[in-house]
Chains A and B, each alone.
Chain A
Amino acid sequence: MERHDAIVIGGGLNGLTAAAYLARAGVDVLLVERNERLGSAAAGYDIRPGFRMPRFTLGTVSLPAHTVSDLELTKFGLRLMRVDGGISLTGEGRYHASYRDGLMHRRELARLSVKDADAWTRFRRDMLRANLALRDVLAHPMRDPSRRTLAAFRGLLSGADKVAAKPSEDMHDLLRIWSMPMADFLDSYFTSDLIKLHLAAKALAGTTLGPYSPSSARFLMNAFMGEAEGAAGGAPATVLAMGGPEAVANALAASIEAHGGRVRTEAEVTDVILRDGKARGVALADGAEVYANAILSDLDLKRTFLALFPWNELPKGFVERVSRFRMRGVTAKINLALDAMPEFPALPDGCPALQGGLRLVTSMMSLERAYDDWRDHLPPRLPLVEMLIPSMTDRSLAPQGKHVMSVAVHYVPEFLHDGPWSNERRDRLSDLVISEIAAHSPDFKDKILSTETLVPPDIESEVGLTAGDFEQGEMTLDQMFFNRPMPGLAGYDTPIANFYLCSGSAHPGALETGGAGAGAAARVAVALGHAPIHRKGSVL
């Protein structure tokens, strides 16, 4: 009978991060992954021989620096590259780019509006300030404020103390960013439509809100999450991993194995073995059973409880509540192999910001309409198109002179108002998007060697994310902080003893930082009687 201290179900970023922290803490940990490759949606594949790219995600990385250092990922082969932050391209051939260098970015803003170039200082300050205010919240597992324990009460008091110490103006600013619609929030800083659209399109990509939805402004600060306060004053960098985002998963797996943990791929968990209402182990698809004192699930909340447990063993009403957890797919992926670098005549030659990706934008109103279409489950008419050509930066991804292009298409519903996604509908989507790109890059269609279109149901069936939702549960205020994944379930514990949730469905959510995995690992290490895991920074 195989037995370990802990089992992690699922080899996504959070599961790998949890297992890596546990292994370093001396826990005998086994990670099981259903697919052949680690990394969940970020796993890589060859679209054609020699052309390597992430299958479902765009391919940027937002791993926090202290995770890299805590887990010694550099030693295990991870190489991160910081590039400029990307470009937005409008239909009329205008463009706006993000540069990391403060002076360069200032000149770029001044090209559109000199006033906005100066307003950038205040915008950047407020973004960093909002992140600073959030840092403490994200650094600790959330406590349920309604739980009447002494510790919870103390936590509430110290939180209230911090709030009381803030000048009221700072509270006003915080309330503004957490409650305002993004478009209105941007109006209070910038005058140039293109600058506002550039920031909005980047922040809204992959979210389930539109630019005029209340509380959408908060997504603006995500881009600044990893920015050092003292950085050069430009736009936030885009980070790529040498070898693609799967390199992060591979480095984490190497870190786990170097510390005595085990990683097993092509091993699908079919059931969690319960005894006396407590989780004791997992049953694998090949019939094997593995036992452990703690079991962590890197699957989303719905898949975890609705697929791995007999429903009658779960507490009354829990199944129903889990089924109401909101998960909705919003992103499709078009993978392209290109015979040559596409040209974009609107851009100046050699623009370095192209390495950070390219977005096609029209207007704030059309962004809102794309969101409306998504909400109404209409086939996308003018979706938000985000492109990344990682082979510009990392030449190992494609043969010499050739390129791979990731296209993330946002505001794509998981099913259409009149039925599921058909092959014809998929083709129509990719035709629409490729024509859209070709309108900015004349000979684009001739350069395409291979193409593959993947819509949210494909993500669900291949990766297991319910509804193809990368956020693993919408990041709306009712499903965040101590409400994540649901009221009464803050922290990483679940109603089943010995069973923990370490996926993006738990706090702080699917931020592509491994934060939930690190937080769950800290919880489990204590539960197993190990010394608390010392982390240099926050959960993020």
Chain B
Amino acid sequence: MSDDTDLTTSTDIEPPPLPVTENETAAPAEPVGRIDLAMLDEMSRVDPALFEQNHQDPPFSRQVMTTPLHFYVASESLTNLWCNWNGYSVAERLTSIDDEYATLRHSAVMTDISPLVKYRISGPDALTWLRRLVTGNLVSLSVDEITPVVFCEDRGHVVGDGLLFRLGAAEFRLVTEEAHLAWLLDSAIGHNVRIEDVSATLAAVSLQGPLSCAALAAAGLSGIENLRPYTAHWFDLMGMPVYVSRSGTSGDLGYELWVEPDDAPALWLRLLDKGRSFGVKAGGFALREIARVEAGIARAGVDYIGAFSAIDPQTAMTPYELGFSSLVDLEGEHFTGRDALRRVHARDPRHILATVAIDWHEPLRFTAIRDATGLAGLATSTVFSPALGCNLAMAILQPHAISSSTVLHVEAEIREELSLRLIHAPAHIIAGAALMLPARHLVPAPLTIRG
């Protein structure tokens, strides 16, 4: 297979349907003992368009790409502030962060989340292979259900985490923050499974907030309130197939809508139009960051470094150190890294990822989390939470910092004209999420804001 094939094939977007189900036995693809590496290319087929208008453009023609919703988001922007998420331009903020936050917590906010990495996994061995890939138990995952997953390499270090959707009996979608195709394909050798990077052929919009369900219902998604958390359903909206999942990173009621890139603008405009009476507005990436830190959700590549990116091996982390213990099933079937995790399970963690609240009434810039003796940890994400009125950080802490007897603080410098104020702000660890609202779990989902 020539190297240029990715460019010249796949003009169609949908791959040919695979008629097999998981119960059918697959014919062995390769004779035992011989791995045809070209087969890996056959197993994956990736649409190269990557949202670009003209994918014949040479790679150096631009540094950052745009999503299908770029111009529609831009027309909502009063600030023209953009940032880079996974190689795509996304709005940093559209109005002011206070207004966007108020909308998120009192109405609902729409965000373009198309830059997420999406893999379509299909084939007779899809479930078998996924069970070996992820640390959790997938036995109870039925069609149209979603589960958070984490996957490790042989040494038990986390490669990445994400959301796994079961779209059909033998069809799945894995949504991650970072790209993992090389690892997915390498670990799929010997399985009859097809893994495609569909990041470019699937756009996504997130609608988060207490009135998100009401807004979706008004937009024409009837019965949306009955969708349970971590499930999804196909809807028909003005003739567009829209896959709606009740998921999100806000710690509140919220949905994510997955559509074809061509349909994304129509969906965006429809939601904006029908949501207007509920106060729905567009929001930016900065708001998403605040909400996810409040909800205690770690972001790969920021709060932890994947095992294949960590240059110092000591910085790769186990699921236990990242607080993913509930996603690890050591008693179930075999998965990659299980033996190593069994060994480290009993051991004391080297670091712990935790949410830290810093009692200070204005946004601070800091990295070091200190205790009386010195450095106790490093903040990986820092935000100011308007709801809690304090700074929040995701931080990698040394194990002793977790104990309740350790008193933590951060130091920050604030320049006021030509004088310097040294801030010494107390910090404490928050167990679980700093903000998790009950509406996230209610079924049927509330159509109004409840007291």
Contact = CB atoms under 8 A, between A and B. Distances in A.
Contacts of A353: 60
Q: What are the 7 closest A-B residue pairs judged by CB atoms, nearest first?
A: A118-B182, A348-B58, A119-B182, A107-B59, A108-B59, A103-B87, A112-B3
A385 B179 CA distance: 35
B151 to A, nearest CB: 14
A99 B179 contact: no
A94 B7 CA distance: 13
Interface string A105-121: 11110111111111101
A94 B213 CA distance: 52
A111 B6 contact: yes
Interface string B171-183: 0000000011111
Given A104-B59, A108-B59, A111-B59, A118 B3 contact: no
Contacts of A117: 179, 181-182
A157 interface: no
A94 B3 contact: yes
B309 A132 contact: no
Interface in A102-147: 103-108, 110-119, 121-122, 125, 128-129, 132
A191 B183 contact: no
B269 interface: no
B325 interface: no
Contacts of A125: 308-311
Select the residue from A118, A119, A166, A352 with max chain B CB neighbours within 10 A: A118
A114 to B, nearest CB: 4
A115 B59 contact: no
Contacts of B21: none
Contacts of B254: none
12 contacts: A110-B48, A114-B44, A114-B48, A114-B197, A115-B185, A121-B309, A122-B308, A129-B311, A191-B40, A351-B58, A352-B60, A353-B60
B4 interface: yes
A128 B312 CA distance: 9
Interface in B95-139: none
Nearest to A118: B182
A116 B182 contact: yes
Interface in B304-321: 306, 308-313
Given A110-B6, A115-B181, A167 B313 contact: yes
A229 interface: yes
A82 to B, nearest CB: 15
A117 B185 CA distance: 12
A193 interface: yes
Interface of A: 84, 94, 97, 99, 101, 103-108, 110-119, 121-122, 125, 128-129, 132, 166-167, 169-170, 187, 191-195, 229, 348, 350-353
A195 B4 CA distance: 12
Contacts of A129: 311-313
B120 to A, nearest CB: 13
Contacts of B179: 106, 117-118, 121
Contact of A106 (B38, B87, B185, B306): B87
B69 to A, nearest CB: 19
A114 B87 contact: no
Interface residues of B, number: 34
Interface string B13-56: 00000000000000000000000011011001010101000000
Contact of B50 (A97, A107, A192, A229): A107
Contact of B4 (A94, A119, A166): A94
A99 B60 contact: yes
Contacts of A111: 4, 6-7, 48, 59
Contacts of A110: 6, 46, 48, 50
Contacts of A348: 58, 60
A439 B32 CA distance: 44
A49 B251 CA distance: 71
B334 interface: no
A128 B40 contact: no
B63 interface: yes
B191 interface: no
Contacts of A193: 3
B6 A113 contact: yes
B403 to A, nearest CB: 26
A112 B58 CA distance: 12
Interface in B207-256: none
Nearest to A127: B311
Contacts of A119: 182
Contacts of B312: 129, 132
B449 interface: no
A150 to B, nearest CB: 31
B313 A170 contact: yes
B311 A103 contact: no
A191 B41 contact: yes
A129 B310 CA distance: 9
Given A104-B59, A106-B87, A110-B48, A122 B311 contact: no
B64 interface: yes
B404 to A, nearest CB: 31
Interface string B277-315: 000000000000000000000000000001011111100
Contact of A115 (B40, B60, B87, B309): B40
Contacts of B182: 115-119, 121-122
B155 interface: yes
A192 B58 CA distance: 18
Contact of A167 (B46, B155, B180, B308): B155
Contacts of B180: 118
A188 B50 CA distance: 27
A170 B311 CA distance: 11
Contacts of B44: 114-115
Contacts of B183: 118, 122
Contacts of A97: 59-60
Given A118-B183, A169-B155, A351-B60, A112 B4 contact: yes
Nearest to B56: A348
B60 A118 contact: no
Contacts of B181: 114-115, 117-118
Contacts of A105: 59
Given A105-B59, A110-B50, 14 more contacts: A97-B60, A104-B63, A110-B48, A111-B6, A113-B41, A114-B6, A114-B181, A114-B197, A125-B309, A128-B311, A129-B311, A129-B312, A191-B40, A229-B311
Interface-centre pick from A103, A114, A191, A348 (highest chain B CB count, 10 A): A114
Interface string B54-73: 00001110011000000000
Given A110-B48, A111-B6, A103 B64 contact: yes
B77 to A, nearest CB: 22
B3 A103 contact: no
Contacts of B46: 110, 114
A113 to B, nearest CB: 6
B59 A99 contact: yes
A118 B195 CA distance: 14
Choose among B87, B154, B311 the residue with the greatest number of A CB atoms under 10 Å from its CB: B311
Contacts of A187: 37
B64 to A, nearest CB: 7
A151 to B, nearest CB: 29
A513 B402 CA distance: 45
A121 B37 contact: no
Nearest to A103: B87
Nearest to B64: A103
Which of A84, A99, A117, A128 counts the most chain B CB atoms within 10 A?
A117
Nearest to A107: B59
Contacts of A350: 60
A172 to B, nearest CB: 11
Contacts of A99: 59-60
Interface centre among B59, B87, B308, B309 (most CB of A within 10 A): B59
A166 to B, nearest CB: 8
A101 B3 contact: no
Most buried by A among B7, B60, B155: B60
A192 B40 CA distance: 11
